[in-house]
Amino acid sequence: MIVKKTVFDLKTFGDVTIGLDFTPTPAFSTIADAMAFFGNDETKVLAALNEVKVSAEVAKAKNTPIAEWHTFEDDEETILNGPAEIESVNEKLVNDLVLNIAKQHFGFAKNLSVEAKRKAKEDALKFVQGQPALKAYLTVMSNAPVPAATNGASV
């Protein structure tokens, strides 16, 4: 089984689909095995356990470090290339940074034409791509822990 996920690659500044060759553990053969897997929760039904187990394992596999993933050949389904040599970062951080730079340095404004907005963002993206310090910032911020919600409490 091949598990796939799409990540934003800092090297190409675009989405890349990567895959991981993954073999789920064998199906449960006894209720005791199923119960142990789910923490002995008797409310679960054996018929659903194997399906849930595979889903849980796929989700866990998606947390495998990027270095163990592979890119796909043209069909993006079954044929894995070698290891994915990408720098995965949070795409929202990239988009926010590009928009801020477009506004501050390339004249992006709400009242511009669609073409002018696109050009300002493209110029900002090219600028970010050429700045090792900004790329390092995106890498660090993408791997930073997300602070817990404070629900308005002062920290």
What mean pLDDT is reported for the chain? 84
Same domain, 13 and 68: yes
Q: How many other β-carbons are positioned within 10 Å of the β-carbon of residue 76? A: 12
Q: Confirm whether 75 is domain-assigned.
A: yes
In Å, how far from its chain's centre is CA 18?
10
Q: Which residues constitute the domain of residue 6?
A: 2-88
> Which of these three, 63, 88, 113, is where a domain ends?
88
pTM of the model: 0.58
Same domain, 108 and 36: no
DSSP structure class, residue 68: G
Q: Confirm whether 84 is domain-assigned.
A: yes
Question: Looking at residue 44, what is its pLDDT?
Answer: 65
Condensed to tens digits (0 to 9), the pLDDT of residues 41-90 reads 777 666 676 888 889 999 998 888 887 888 877 666 666 777 888 888 88
